[in-house]
A and B are shown apart, each in its own frame.
Chain A
Amino acid sequence: MYDFTYEKPSSLADAVKALSGDMDAKALAGGQTFIPVLKQRLNKPSTVVDLSKLGLSGITVAGDKIVIGAMTRHADVASNPDIQAKIPGLAYLASMIGDEAVRHRGTIGGSLANNDPAACYPSAILALGGTIKTDRRSIAADDFFQGMFTTALEQGEIITSIELPIPQKSAYEKFRNPASRYAIVGVFVAKHASGVRLAITGAGQGGVFRHTEMEKALSANFSPDAISGIVTPADGLNGDIHASAEYRAHLIGVVSKRAVAKAA
């Protein structure tokens, strides 16, 4: 690992300042992706700005929404009784990330800011139609994810919380790589009063995406049968040593049906 200057600011304004004034400064949330990246020397930050003292963790129910602080750990999302009762798909998703020790450190905000194309959380936030709150604005999930490892965040912009509308039903299903536990294909389905949203992670070359054809079919009939005839083309899907694009296209159908069966 290359050495860097470490800062742990105690106010959001100071953290934004530390990250904005220096193009090579990087934010550190839970570090469960970032520290391995640093070890591999894939990144050479001048300054690492630790966000752990900004008071950004916690889970609250606010009317028809659940608000999750950006620094909330996966283990806390997984075990939170409100999330388990109101968005069970999200609690399950968090319980399946990495392993016990990783879930004790990794954060929802860090996962979203990184936008790994095989990360689990982006599919939930997109399917739930969540809003990402930052130090300066609110960003709708539909606008936030802009391709592999790319988001709408500006230099120095820090996610403070994630606001998630409580759906009528939700479920997450993951066909995971047995070694890394990342999604080869992950599907989050959410049935809202306004219709169904279904998002796929792990498969798309551009990262997480919504499957609009399935959403339309499921909005009319929320059952696995409604999507059993839908064929997903392999164009634009990832192919690698773990799974070809054609296999991932096939898995999207299988895993989506499992997710719907679980939610219905």
Chain B
Amino acid sequence: MPQVTLTVNGKQHTVEVEGRTLLVELLREKLGLTGTHIGCDTSQCGACVVHVDGISVKSCTQLALQADGATITTIEGLAAADGTLHPMQEMFREHHALQCGFCTPGMVMTAIDLVESHPAGLSEKEIREGLEGNLCRCTGYHNIVKAIAAAHPLMHAKAAE
């Protein structure tokens, strides 16, 4: 069986997979990182978004073997070792940007890439467009947009330190 070696949340793993194994299946079933969710399984909903080499991708639409040698960050890799939440997680909590929470891991991962790739600032329109590939059936998005807008200055102030 083919093997894939990748770094997930700072830890290197070598895992046996099938050709058809999806990255999300590797994360959830082989590594037990079930924070990354499978929602639609048709590349629409974004519940499975993780960062591959710092870029947000849908892990249900990438083969595990394509990620050989890659550095992956999942929702489990965001908080500090002492449990301090990432500023984006903290703002989601602060602004009540979730209800059932199913879409939240993907929302947070998409939101972090969005903020990181727009250091100069993000308009409300840009945030809403940036969330196009993430579906939420509870919140109506309004508080998610607020949380991301609030996280932007926190994340860039932290990066500048």
What is the interface of chain A, defined by CB distance below 8 A to chain B?
1-6, 8, 28, 31-32, 35-36, 38-39, 48, 50, 52, 98-102, 104-105, 179, 181
Check if A101 sits within 8 Å of B63, measured CB to CB: no
Check if B61 sits within 8 Å of A31, measured CB to CB: yes
The complex places the Cα of A36 from the Cα of B63 at a distance, in Å, of 11
In the complex, B66 has a CB within 8 A of chain A: yes
A-B contact pairs, 20 of them (CB 8 A): A1-B20, A3-B20, A5-B19, A6-B2, A31-B61, A35-B62, A36-B42, A48-B63, A50-B66, A98-B43, A99-B133, A100-B113, A101-B46, A101-B57, A102-B43, A104-B56, A105-B57, A105-B58, A105-B62, A179-B44
The complex places the Cα of A120 from the Cα of B123 at a distance, in Å, of 26
Chain B residues, Cβ within 8 Å of A48: 19, 63
8 A Cβ contacts from B56-93 to A? 56-58, 61-63, 65-66, 68
Check if A32 sits within 8 Å of B61, measured CB to CB: yes
What is the interface of chain B, defined by CB distance below 8 A to chain A?
2, 18-20, 22, 41-44, 46, 49, 55-58, 61-63, 65-66, 68, 110, 113-114, 130, 132-134
Chain B residues, Cβ within 8 Å of A104: 55-57
Check if B56 sits within 8 Å of A36, measured CB to CB: no
Contact of A8 among B22, B44, B55, B68 (CB under 8 A): B68
Most buried by B among A3, A5, A32, A105: A105
Chain B residues, Cβ within 8 Å of A100: 56, 110, 113-114, 130, 132-133
Chain A residues, Cβ within 8 Å of B63: 6, 28, 31, 35, 48, 50
B80 to chain A, nearest CB (A): 26
Given contacts A50-B65, A99-B132, A100-B132, contact A3 B57 (CB under 8 A): no
Check if B56 sits within 8 Å of A101, measured CB to CB: yes
Most buried by A among B2, B56, B58, B113: B58
Chain A residues, Cβ within 8 Å of B57: 101, 104-105
Check if A101 sits within 8 Å of B2, measured CB to CB: no
Chain A residues, Cβ within 8 Å of B113: 100
B67 to chain A, nearest CB (A): 11
Chain B residues, Cβ within 8 Å of A39: 41-42
Contact of A101 among B66, B68, B133 (CB under 8 A): B133
Closest to A99 in B: B133
The complex places the Cα of A9 from the Cα of B116 at a distance, in Å, of 33
Chain B residues, Cβ within 8 Å of A2: 20
The complex places the Cα of A52 from the Cα of B57 at a distance, in Å, of 16
Most buried by B among A2, A50, A52, A104: A104
Check if B61 sits within 8 Å of A3, measured CB to CB: no
The complex places the Cα of A31 from the Cα of B20 at a distance, in Å, of 12
Supply 14 further A-B pairs (C-beta < 8 A) apart from A4-B19, A101-B46. Answer: A1-B20, A4-B20, A6-B19, A8-B65, A8-B68, A28-B63, A32-B43, A39-B41, A48-B19, A98-B43, A102-B43, A102-B61, A102-B133, A105-B57
